[in-house]
Chain A
Amino acid sequence: GAGVSQTPSNKVTEKGKYVELRCDPISGHTALYWYRQSLGQGPEFLIYFQGTGAADDSGLPNDRFFAVRPEGSVSTLKIQRTERGDSAVYLCASSFATGQRDTGELFFGEGSRLTVL
């Protein structure tokens, strides 16, 4: 597609439920990133994929969070046993980055706002 697409745009769930957030990156972009943005804060890194593999998942806060990218394109961020503190905007980005320290611009989607009641 023309840009990074994220669904759903908004998700309201109850504490303890399971949630999936989807990201469809720009066609041809090999790198895909997930960030979390809490209210009043800048985005915080969660996980980075280069192709199908998670090159760096050091930002995932705990084992309730998991992300996949099985075919090297669409990615799904999965949150188990959601807690109120998981409420945030989850941003996805993609780029042509090779995994090296480069100047690749990140192209962001509009995010998925998760509210856990």
Chain B
Amino acid sequence: AQTVTQSQPEMSVQEAETVTLSCTYDTSESDYYLFWYKQPPSRQMILVIRQEAYKQQNATENRFSVNFQKAAKSFSLKISDSQLGDAAMYFCAYPFFGNEKLTFGTGTRLTIIP
């Protein structure tokens, strides 16, 4: 089955602390990309970070980094030094049939506690 699973419907973290959001996926391919998108209340989906499966090194974008475990088909997002502006829905996405047909998980709602 071609699925993307986010098992945490909601997460909360104290401001300035670190939080990790989980994502697993199912694929038989060996070369692909994985994405984390953020959706604030404005509804606009914004790309947070992208991981290339053939790269051993985990992607990092400022306070955002991933823990990519290819064999386990796991792609978690770590947010360091959480800020109030990080509060949003976070979606993991996999392009099962190409980048134009991203399959998204059901999302994790992240709350930042001041």
Name the segment of B13-21, B46-54, B66-74, B77-85 touching the other chain.
B46-54
* A interface residue count range (under 10 / 10 to 19 / 20 to 34 / 35 or more): 20 to 34
Task: State whether A42 and B106 are in contact (beta carbons under 8 Å apart), knowing that A108-B45, A110-B42 are contacts in the complex.
Answer: yes
A23 to chain B, nearest CB (A): 13
**Contacting pair B104 A42 (CB below 8 A):** yes
Chain B interface, number of residues (Cβ within 8 angstroms): 23
A83 to B95 Cα, complex, angstroms: 29
CB neighbours of B46 from chain A (8 A)? 108
Complex alpha-carbon distance, A33 and B100, angstroms? 7
Tell me which of A31, A42, A93 contacts B105 (CB under 8 A). Answer: A42
B27 at the A/B interface (Cβ < 8 Å)?
Answer: no
Which residues of chain A come closer than 8 Å to B102, judged between CB atoms?
43, 45, 106
A41 touches B106 (CB 8 A): yes
Asked if A42 meets B47 with Cβ closer than 8 Å, knowing A97-B99, A106-B99, the reply is no
Are A99 and B100 within 8 A (Cβ)?
A: yes
Beta-carbon contact of A43 and B44 below 8 Å:
no
- In the complex formed, the residue of B with least CB distance to A55 is B100
Residues of A participating in the B interface, judged by any CB pair closer than 8 Å: 31, 33, 40-45, 48, 55-56, 59, 89, 91, 93, 95, 97, 99-106, 108-111, 113
The 4 A-B residue pairs whose C-beta atoms are closest, nearest first, are A42-B104, A108-B45, A48-B100, A111-B43
